[in-house]
């Protein structure tokens, strides 16, 4: 058995996908909804998996610093140089800035903060999300 919580956060970002034949090959933006799922077998001394306020602080700090209101672009996208040259905020990724890769990026940031994260879901639109989770039983400590 385990206890699970989910913290929902909102952020805005722009992106475009390279090597893609469709609308997302063009620059566009999203109002993303992020769900960070944390889990533990045993609650802490306060009776919590993790304090929601602390989850928000850790994740929001990463979002605000790295990707909120920025263009997320793959490192070989010619827009990187153009946007930087005019002083626009850009977050450069080694892979395409898909919802799947953004969810993985945020998952890894949460792990680095020591959060007992088991999954990150990024709702790119009201009816479509990508989820990243690692298949590793030591998440449930």
CA atoms within 13 A on the CB side of 19: 7
The three-state (H, E, C) secondary structure of 59-92, written as one string: HHHHHHHHHCCEEEEECCCCHHHHHHHCCCCEEE
Q: In 3-state terms, what secondary structure has residue 129?
A: strand
Confirm whether 95 is a catalytic residue.
no
Confirm whether 124 is a catalytic residue.
yes
For residue 14, being part of any structural domain is answered with yes
53 has pLDDT over 70? yes
What is residue 118's predicted lDDT score, i.e. its pLDDT?
A: 97
Which residue stretches of the chain are H helix? Answer: 52-62, 79-85, 99-112
For residue 93, being part of any structural domain is answered with yes
132 has pLDDT over 90? yes
What is residue 136's predicted lDDT score, i.e. its pLDDT?
A: 61
Count structural domains, the chain.
1
The catalytically annotated residue of 3, 24, 35, 66 is 24
For residue 13, being part of any structural domain is answered with yes
pLDDT averaged over every residue in the chain: 95
Domain range for 104: 3-136
For residue 121, being part of any structural domain is answered with yes
Question: What is the tens place of the pLDDT at every residue in 8-27?
Answer: 999 999 999 999 999 999 99
Confirm whether 28 is a catalytic residue.
no
List the CATH number of the domain containing 130: 3.30.479.10
The catalytically annotated residue of 10, 12, 69, 112 is 69
In this prediction, residue 98 has a pLDDT band, given cuts at 50, 70 and 90, of very high
Residue 42: in which H helix or E strand, if any? none
What is residue 14's predicted lDDT score, i.e. its pLDDT?
A: 98
For residue 141, being part of any structural domain is answered with no
48 has pLDDT over 80? yes
């Amino acid at each position: 058995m385990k206890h699970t919580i989910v913290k929902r956060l909102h952020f805005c970002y722009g992106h475009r996908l390279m090597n893609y034949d469709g609308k997302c090959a063009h620059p566009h933006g999203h109002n993303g909804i992020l769900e960070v799922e944390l889990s533990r077998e045993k609650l802490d001394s306060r009776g919590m998996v993790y304090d929601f306020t602390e989850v928000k602080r850790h994740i929001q700090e990463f979002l605000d610093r790295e990707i909120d209101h920025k263009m997320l672009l793959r490192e070989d996208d010619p827009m990187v140089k153009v946007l930087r040259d005019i002083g626009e905020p850009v977050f450069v990724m080694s892979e395409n800035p898909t919802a799947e890769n953004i969810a993985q990026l945020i998952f890894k940031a949460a792990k680095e903060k020591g959060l007992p994260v088991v999954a990150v879901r990024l709702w790119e639109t009201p009816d479509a999300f990508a989820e990243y989770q690692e298949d590793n039983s030591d998440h449930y400590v």
